[in-house]
Structure 1
Amino acid sequence: MARIVLVTGVSRYLGGLYARRLSADPGIERILGVDVIPPRHSIGRAEFVRADIRNPMIGRIMNQAEVDTVVHMNVIATPKDTGGRVTQKEINVIGTMQLLAACQKAPSVQRLVVKSSAAIYGSSPRDPAMFAEDMNAKSTPRSGFGKDSIEVEGYVRGFSRRRPDVEITMLRLANVIGPQIRTAVTDYFTLPLIPVPLGYDARLQFLHEDDAIAALVTATTGPSVGIVNVAGDGFLTLLQCLAMVRRPVLPVPLATAGLIGNIVKRSGLADFSPDQVAFLAFGRGLDTTRMRHVLEFEPRYSTRAAFEAFAAGVHSVVADVEGVGEAVTGAVTGAAGGGAAALARVFERLSQ
């Protein structure tokens, strides 16, 4: 039973929400919230400790407080949240290595809970309809958050071999969405002009932000369950999602989607990566049998209900910027770079 809990990434939205929910559990004696910057939101009765998990000082904090449960929430999905890809990878990979090294040396640590991601499965046309936890990616993510998640899980498995006495739970969360959270996916669906892969209509699964936190609290206070997929029931297709957010759509050939994504990224409207483009083209499905029968967790929101909760706060827009048609045509046909430059100007005007 968790008594003294250390939570990383407490200054981020999900980390703060988790700390507030855990604060309501009278069985938890003490909560330490760790991050490099003070939180701008409430963290309940958690005590904020300003520390960098990349620094060995995190080990001294664990030992002094006699922490028995570590909840690793500080695996960051979008580089713009950290100032760039280099910093994102340092926090995700190096930070996890240092945190696990501290856990290994802390005799009081009895449980480790890690917020992982379904991004480790990647997205490809060869994928099964549903990924179970013992399946590997058909096309392994080679960059970005997906690659970081694979490395993080690898380090956790290595830690479990060195400290077999520590109970470990890793939750592979589907894309988290909701009325408050901001992610690369929510940024994409709020673009004023949404590029979509031409000829594809991927099946998507989502997890409501409240269910994501409830699952993590269950993993903290309940029995250890190993690796578990967590997602809302059912699927939505990409085009169904676009209809719900009532935004104009820009169909682009898959071969040029990366170019369009780079234009959108430079405009500052959303983070795009090759993994995201593949996800929008091929989708991803998670088998949640273990979630129900091992974790014994039932999400309150289905995939549709989770997306509807998000879409309710998205205002419809009409893209009326001059030159959209010519810019799109030029960009997707590679008209000497002129089309791409014109399309970039379109997104710049749309972002104003």
Structure 2
Amino acid sequence: MQPPRVVLVTGASRFPGGFLVARLAQKPGVERVIAVDSVSPSKDMMRRMGRAEFVRADIRNPVIGKVIRGAEVDTVVHAATVAQAPKSGSRAAMKDMNVIGAMQLFAVCQKAPTVRKVVLRSASAVYGGSPEDPAKFTEEMSARRPPQGAWARDCIEIESYARGLGRRRPDIAVSILRLAPLMGPRLHGWVARYLSSPIVPSIVGRDARLQLLHEEDALGALERATTTGPAGTFNVAGDGVVMLSQAIRRAGRVEVPMPFALFRSVGRALTGSQMRSFTREQLDYFHYGCGLDTARMHADLGLEPRWTTCEALDDFVRGVGLTPMIRTSWVDRAESAALALVGAETRAG
């Protein structure tokens, strides 16, 4: 596979699209980088993009076809899907942006003779969440129960359109990256927001297994898939897992266990604005978690994440300056008192 010459990236005003554009613009082998979004990037993002060209366009609009054909784009990175409906929109508007937008973008790619590679940013949300989940999902597996969340359903449908493109145009290498929840000091994603609340609700009798991906490793995976990566579907996550209870302690938060029925209502009330915007699949994630088999990421994509799951979490905690709600000195004194009490009882017995 020849390295890309002209790359078009959708979702360029947000993470990770904009930061990927900035990385690609610094690669001398890439002649042109075209950043596309329906909203303009911030001034800081525009500076980061350097020599990249920004085009304000909606991928549902025929103008995107003119851009791809006119610039003779050979590589398209689709990173424009949104996990939540726009503030002034609805579920129907979200599906139109995500599913219809992807369908029309891939239709343009199918008709463009210069396109040779398509990279899709997907998510581990496609695996859903249920008590029947395996310890680790491989790329060949599907959700044990049909996901109820809109974001997960959109990702599944978008992936099907991407695979359809690969079947109709075998000369186009289609790479699908199923990213674990992102974590890092710059990106305050939904797991980060959850762990930022002083009081963190959890579910009685559950301790979800979390597998996270550092924001820099997410960019590294997208860059590798764009420049040298093979076709295929890849789980992308940091090595190792962290239990939800451990993550809450590492973030210095106070855990409040409660029944799942109250988790959706009382839990949201306890965290203020942190959980109010969470989607169905995001709430389910803290119920069941999700483990990913990343053997294919290592062997075929050739990606070795720099941060493990725990290191990504710790980097976020340091980066945003979270301070423990309970001082470690208090915990140390309590532990010392407990050990002294146990020792006294042992000697007395």
Please give the range of the TM-score, normalised by the shorter of the 2 chains.
0.7 to 0.9
Matched, 1:198 2:198: no
Give a deviation string over 1:122-141, Cα, whole Å, max 9, x none. 11110111111001110221
**Residue 322 (structure 2) aligns with:** 315
CA distance in 2, matches of 1:45, 1:282: 44
The residue matched to 2:290 in structure 1 has which SS?
coil
Does the 8 A contact of 1:261 with 1:272 survive in 2?
A: no
Unmatched segments (≥5 aa) in structure 1: 320-352
CA distance in 2, matches of 1:181, 1:204: 17
Does the 8 A contact of 2:199 with 2:270 survive in 1?
A: no
Matches within 5 A, 1:1-352: 1-40=3-42, 41=45, 42-79=48-85, 84-260=90-266, 263=269, 268-270=273-275, 271-312=277-318, 313-316=320-323, 318=325
Query: Counterpart amino acid of 2:237?
Result: A
Query: Counterpart amino acid of 2:245?
Result: L
CA distance in 2, matches of 1:300, 1:253: 37
- Taking a change above 3 Å as real, the CA distance of residues 272 and 38 of structure 1, as seen in their structure-2 partners, is same
Structure 1 residue 143, shift from structure 2 partner: 2.4
Task: Return the TM-score normalized by structure 2.
Answer: 0.86
Structure 1 residue 142, shift from structure 2 partner: 2.2
Give a deviation string over 1:77-135, Cα, whole Å, max 9, x none. 23357855443322211111111111111111110000111110011110111111001
Does the 8 A contact of 2:252 with 2:325 survive in 1?
A: no
CA distance in 1, matches of 2:215, 2:39: 22
Does the 8 A contact of 2:135 with 2:291 survive in 1?
A: yes
Structure 1 residue 282, shift from structure 2 partner: 1.1
- Taking a change above 3 Å as real, the CA distance of residues 275 and 260 of structure 1, as seen in their structure-2 partners, is farther
Quick check: 276-285 or 186-195, which moved more?
186-195
CA distance in 2, matches of 1:123, 1:3: 40
- Taking a change above 3 Å as real, the CA distance of residues 128 and 223 of structure 1, as seen in their structure-2 partners, is same
RMSD of aligned C-alpha atoms? 1.9
- Taking a change above 3 Å as real, the CA distance of residues 222 and 99 of structure 1, as seen in their structure-2 partners, is same
Query: Counterpart amino acid of 2:36?
Result: V
Does the 8 A contact of 1:245 with 1:314 survive in 2?
A: no
Structure 1 residue 255, shift from structure 2 partner: 2.3
The residue matched to 1:11 in structure 2 has which SS?
coil
Task: Return the TM-score normalized by structure 1.
Answer: 0.86
The residue matched to 1:250 in structure 2 has which SS?
strand
Query: Counterpart amino acid of 1:242?
Result: I
The count of aligned residue pairs is: 318
- Taking a change above 3 Å as real, the CA distance of residues 100 and 155 of structure 1, as seen in their structure-2 partners, is same
Quick check: 30-39 or 69-78, which moved more?
69-78
**Residue 322 (structure 1) aligns with:** none
Does the 8 A contact of 2:179 with 2:237 survive in 1?
A: yes
**Residue 341 (structure 1) aligns with:** none
CA distance in 2, matches of 1:261, 1:67: 47
Give a deviation string over 1:162-212, Cα, whole Å, max 9, x none. 222111100111111100112222211112322111221111100000000
Which entry has the higher C-alpha Rg, 1 or 2? 2
Structure 1 residue 273, shift from structure 2 partner: 2.3
Give a deviation string over 1:240-267, Cα, whole Å, max 9, x none. 11011112222220122222366479x5
Does the 8 A contact of 1:78 with 1:183 survive in 2?
A: no
Structure 1 residue 14, shift from structure 2 partner: 1.2
Unmatched segments (≥5 aa) in structure 2: 327-349
CA distance in 2, matches of 1:288, 1:191: 30
Does the 8 A contact of 1:35 with 1:51 survive in 2?
A: yes
Does the 8 A contact of 1:195 with 1:249 survive in 2?
A: yes
CA distance in 1, matches of 2:93, 2:153: 15
Does the 8 A contact of 1:203 with 1:236 survive in 2?
A: yes
CA distance in 2, matches of 1:60, 1:175: 34
Structure 1 residue 147, shift from structure 2 partner: 1.0
Quick check: 70-79 or 283-292, which moved more?
70-79
Quick check: 76-85 or 137-146, which moved more?
76-85
